[in-house]
Amino acid sequence: MSSLLLIHGPNLNLLGTREPEIYGSDSLEDINARMRLIAESSGHELFSFQSNHEGALVDRIQQAAGEGICHILINPAAYTHTSVALRDALLAVGIPFTEIHLSNPHSREEFRHHSFLSDIAQGVVVGFGPQSYDVALTGIINALAHH
Ligand code: CA2
């Protein structure tokens, strides 16, 4: 059994309430519950965490190092494009991670085209709405099985 951690960045607590044409109509709790179910049906456990605060996200990543988390799934939201602190935290703990986005940031404004995380991620899944999470988790579970 592996322990996985799903992290959501700022404003993602609003999922399902606004801008469904960009971000879909699932709530964050819908996504968390579905991810937990997928993980558990393969014999793994999955914890989730959301914060609007960069430092709280850094703290959660650091904490994961002492919890035996073997993979982090993260939608860093706007911090994708700004945060050296999240990059440093992920490098510091050395836990492999997958970057996830609901939308395709490359088809949006120029400032969303750069990610501080993509080049150090194991994988990146973007553009499939809430299904991006399912695709990422399925890929991780398959990779764990062949390890
Ligand atoms: O597409 C994604 O998943 C993003 O990470 C979403 C971020 C955006 O800054 C990134 O460029 C791409 C924004 C999240 C905002 O979440 C909301 C959810 C519901 C209603 C309004 C905003």
77 lines ligand 1 (CB under 6 A): yes
**What is residue 66's predicted lDDT score, i.e. its pLDDT?**
96
What is the distance between the alpha carbons of residues 15 and 104, in angstroms, rounded to a whole number?
Answer: 16
- pLDDT reading at 12 higher than 90: yes
What is the distance between the alpha carbons of residues 5 and 47, in angstroms, rounded to a whole number?
Answer: 5
144 lines ligand 1 (CB under 6 A): no
Give yes or no for a contact between 31 and 130, defined as CB atoms under 8 angstroms apart: yes
Global pTM reads 0.97
Mean pLDDT within 107-119 = 98
% of the chain beyond a pLDDT of 90 = 94
102 lines ligand 1 (CB under 6 A): yes
Q: What is the set of active-site residues? A: 23, 101
Give yes or no for a contact between 71 and 95, defined as CB atoms under 8 angstroms apart: yes
**What is residue 59's predicted lDDT score, i.e. its pLDDT?**
98
Per-residue pLDDT tens over the stretch 54-87 = 999 999 999 999 999 999 999 999 999 999 999 9
Mean pLDDT within 105-132 = 98
- pLDDT reading at 111 higher than 90: yes
Q: Residue of the nearest CA to atom 20 in ligand 1? A: 18
23 lines ligand 1 (CB under 6 A): yes
Mean pLDDT computed over every residue of the chain: 97
Q: Report DSSP letters for the chain, one per residue.
A: --EEEEEE-TTGGGTTTS-HHHH-S--HHHHHHHHHHHHHHTT-EEEEEE-S-HHHHHHHHHHHGGGTEEEEEEE-GGGGGT-HHHHHHHHHH---EEEEESS-GGGS-GGGS--SSGGG-SEEEESSTTHHHHHHHHHHHHHHHT-
Query: Which ligand 1 atom lies nearest to the CA of residue 22?
Result: 1
